[in-house]
Amino acid sequence: MKSIPYPLATRLAVLVLLPVIGGAAWLHHSLRASLPPEGTFQLTREVSAPVSITRDENGVPHIRATTDIDAFHAVGYAHAQDRLWQLELQRRLASGRLSEVFGKKSIDTDVWFRTLGLYESARSAWPALSPQAQRSLTAYAAGINAWIAEGHSLPAEFRVLGIKPEPWTELDSLAWVKVFALDLGGNFRREIDRYVARQALSEPQLTAFFPNYPADAPATVAAISGRPSAPLEALAQLQQQLETEHAIGGTNVGSNAWVVSGRHTRDGAALLSNDPHLGLQIPSLWYAMNVDAPAFKVSGMSLVGLPVVVLGRNAHIAWGGTNMMADVQDLFFERTDASGERYLAQGQWLPFSTRVETIDVRADFPEQLRRRYAPVTLKVRSTRNGPVISDYHGVFRQPVTLRWTALEAGDTSYEAFFRLNQARDWEGFKAALARHVAPAMNLLFIDRAGNIGYLGAGRIPVRRQGEGTLPSPGWDDAWGWSGQVSPSQWPQSYNPPSGFIVNANNPVANHDDPYFISHDWAPTSRARRIEYLLRQRIASGKGLTAQDMQHIQADTVDMDAAAMMSVLRKRLPRGEHASQAAEYLKDWNGDMRADSQAAAIFSVWMRHFRQRVFGAALQGSWEQQPANRILRGLQEDVPLDYLRTLAGESSARNGGSTWCDDAGTPAPETCEEALADSQKSALWELYKLKGDWSMASWRWDGVQRTAYDHTPFSDFKPLDRIFQRRIGNGGSAGSINVAASDFKGADGYLQKFGPGFRQIIALRGARTSHYYMNSTGQSGNFMSPHYDDMVVPFRDARFLTLDDAPAASGKPAAH
């Protein structure tokens, strides 16, 4: 082969290679310029006195300001430095403007958020806030906008998509509070599931998917004082889309949180542990920060979009939270007159409240060569119950409205967290949260004197009849809301005799309480395991430490899996590969740790067992495909304790004969046969995933991976390799170190739901120990070393210290 002549090679390098190299170098330098300065710098513009922002070695900002308003401004500035794309994305999601950037695929999402009218509700919330709370939001918005106005190089997402960030407003923050509430309180989907299931299943069969909660389940507080037909499937499908594409909502969205009194700890410090569970993404929803201002001395996790610490500590107390799982959304069928312009309400025909929304839709790629789409015009109707959420789909025989506490006028939820950041004691903690509306949350408390407490905070509706578990007739006041539970009647506990309080989305009160909260509690395995480990350590007499809390947060034992194995050990199938699998399972204790082959075999076996038993009954009819998707999805959430009933464990619930033990039931085989056949299917699936019958490679973390998706670049190759992160992981939906995963074919089991951060705080006297770990990293900019530097430590439950006085790196910079 002849070589290229030297002059030609030179010209090739000059004309082709050097421009490419130069362009790549320029692009790299330009993207690096979008990062904030390292070390300490002074914020001097638009503040009354210089404010220092010191980023520690993990990228966490430590803000020092002489006034609270300057501190709020600096928080906004820091959020914009690290999470500018996330702020832009959140605003567009809440306001229904994603289609302007992502095109027609986002129309349904935009229609949904325009219909909800989060900004309409936020406008009514603004005047309900105190002047101090309003000023904090104004200062925060000014801080974000100050960074934008300085003309810094923009992160890659803006460049690829060809857009620029818009100024942030106070209403953007208030609207994001409501998206957070939607994330934790989207139980209207459960109403639709029940409605569809009741059309296809018998009452005994429904118990598998909508069980009555066990009477002896752990309760956070011992006691508290004081149909018409319409196709709802399209709404459920839209909610599923939100879960998949934007990590909004999901089954058993919740958390772990517990507090331990100083009398049970080694040094007398009260301990708080918290790890909220939400849809996973990169960057994390959460942003760690430490702020030192006269009346705003806080440390912990903020939500990007808000200037306060949502879960963390101030100079006097610390607090953590979980989802209360409260039923705060109800669907109502509405009757209209012949014109469709009026709806029936208690015998009177009333006009709909209407507004027109226009959604601009970006042309397909390449945009310059495509015809621009015509804007989508949406007429949003509302009744006294709330917005009509069914109009867009055009398949309803009558309108369906949504009543939701977060859409009530005068929402003061932000005020609650603003005041919580300044609370000094238990009474101040309760007084601050009395203003909380949505999402309904379990808030746990410790102080420097070793006290502990719990308060279930948030607006809980009082229904005249029924429990809101199915859509109700909106024209009849007998099915409406008569008010709300008074904050004085909210579930609460202060220094209980046990010396600890636990909540893992289990019931917050007993069954004989004076008002209804929910039927949709999470399974009890996490709460039971936390209580067991706490009691075990207390009984040792050594005194609990923050390190003990770290070990508990990392625990991967699933107590329901262990109980299921007590039944399965007697029924392990025989055969070449089945016998090998049985060797892994026979002494397994339910520990879903990452390196366990038994955890992988058990998890896959139980998925196939669910399919085998429930699949036939959940097929539905061919012409009802949307309903069929809902029915098929139900089987994934059948709890292990119900499967244990089917597999032979004695129980008060007579589930076995309903499904597979008697002739003529939906399944064509007995439960014994279903167990044997499903294990064969599971082993074959694992072989196809791993390609190794020796089973040595069948570790759970080789089958299950945690997926941190990026919006929107996880959907585009090869950008997904740059922006998305995946990592093998252990855990299960029932372990404290939670990992709720779904089977995704060749990708194996992907966990897209789990803890967004971990936090442990110890308070005693003047001493504070604060440990934390964010799920991905502090920065949302993929050029930053802090974009993903916490992915592996977080998986391994290794903790960092959030000190008041950080060790800064880099040279001081002035602004």
Binding residues, as ranges, are 191, 327, 330
Nearest to 168 by CA among 63, 84, 42: 84
Rounded CA-CA distance 60/63 in Å is: 10
Rounded CA-CA distance 542/42 in Å is: 47
- Other residues' Cβ atoms within 10 Å of the Cβ of residue 479: 19
Rounded CA-CA distance 404/542 in Å is: 47
Nearest to 230 by CA among 328, 332, 330, 351: 332
- Going by the DSSP 8-state scheme, the letter that residue 287 receives in this structure is E
Cis peptide bond prior to 218, omega within 30° of 0? no
Assigned token pair, 462: 């009082």
Residue set of the binding site for Ca(2+): 191, 327, 330
- Going by the DSSP 8-state scheme, the letter that residue 368 receives in this structure is G
Strand partners, 279: 753
Rounded CA-CA distance 331/390 in Å is: 11
Rounded CA-CA distance 189/237 in Å is: 9
Strand partners, 347: none
User: Beta strand pairing status for 254-260 and 51-55?
Assistant: unpaired
Whether 488 is catalytic:
no
Q: Where would I find the H helices in 382-438? A: 413-420, 426-433
Strand partners, 755: 277
b/e per residue, 97-132, with b = 16+ CB within 10 A?
Answer: bbbbbbbeebbbbbbbbbbbbbbbbbeebbebbeee
Cis peptide bond prior to 573, omega within 30° of 0? no
Backbone φ/ψ region at 386: left (φ over 0), alpha (ψ -120 to 50), beta: left
Report the first-to-last Cα separation within the chain, whole angstroms.
60
Count how many Cα atoms sit within 13 Å of the Cα of residue 386 in the half-sphere of its side chain: 25
Name residue 239's amino acid.
Answer: Q
Q: Contact 451/494 with Cβ under 8 angstroms? A: yes
Count how many Cα atoms sit within 13 Å of the Cα of residue 488 in the half-sphere of its side chain: 1
Exposed (0-12), middle (13-18) or buried (19+): which is 584, by Cβ within 10 Å? middle
Backbone φ/ψ region at 417: left (φ over 0), alpha (ψ -120 to 50), beta: alpha
Secondary structure class of 629 (helix, strand, coil): helix
Ordered DSSP codes for 472-520: EETT-GGGSEEEE--GGGS-EEES-TTSEEEESSS-SS-TT-SS---S-
The backbone torsions φ and ψ at residue 359, rounded to the nearest 5 degrees and listed phi first, read: -110, 115
**C-alpha separations of 257 from 356, 528, 531, 728 in Å:** 43, 13, 11, 25
Rounded CA-CA distance 133/126 in Å is: 9
Rounded CA-CA distance 514/470 in Å is: 21
Assigned token pair, 308: 């306060």
Residue of 95, 99, 106, 255 marked catalytic: 255
Rounded CA-CA distance 657/92 in Å is: 51
What are the counts of helices (DSSP H) followed by strands (DSSP E) for the chain? 26, 31
**Strands (DSSP E) found in 326-467:** 329-333, 342-345, 348-351, 353-359, 376-383, 386-387, 400-404, 441-447, 452-457, 461-463
The catalytic residue positions are 255
